[in-house]
Amino acid sequence: MIKYQTKAIQSAAVFCPECGGAVMNKSTGFNHLVIIYAGVLNNPNLYTPTLDFYTDSAQNWSCMLSDTKKFPKQISKNG
């Protein structure tokens, strides 16, 4: 059974039922977006990132993909 924790900002974090670690995050305000934490994937090549956000504050060593959609700050609600 996956446990959900809902926050006041209308987002739900999904936790691993075995270790309690965060697996993904979903917001009701962004129905088209699911954030999956790459470190929890058995096969990180299964999903391809489609966007980078908060790029204005990215460190110079950050390795963003060249073909992802970029957002300098928070992503817009409309995608």
Cβ atoms of 14 and 23 within 8 Å: the answer is yes
Interval 59-78: pLDDT, tens: 988 888 889 998 888 766 55
Q: What is the pLDDT of residue 37?
A: 81
Residue with tokens 């962004």: 30
Q: Which two tokens stand for residue 77?
A: 């609600």
- Distance of alpha carbon 32 from alpha carbon 44, whole angstroms: 21
Residue with tokens 């928070």: 74
Cβ atoms of 2 and 22 within 8 Å: the answer is no
Interval 2-40: pLDDT, tens: 555 555 546 778 888 888 888 888 877 777 778 888 788
Task: Provide, rounded to the nearest whole percent, the portion of the chain with pLDDT above 70.
Answer: 80
User: What residues are paired with 27 via a beta bridge?
Assistant: 11
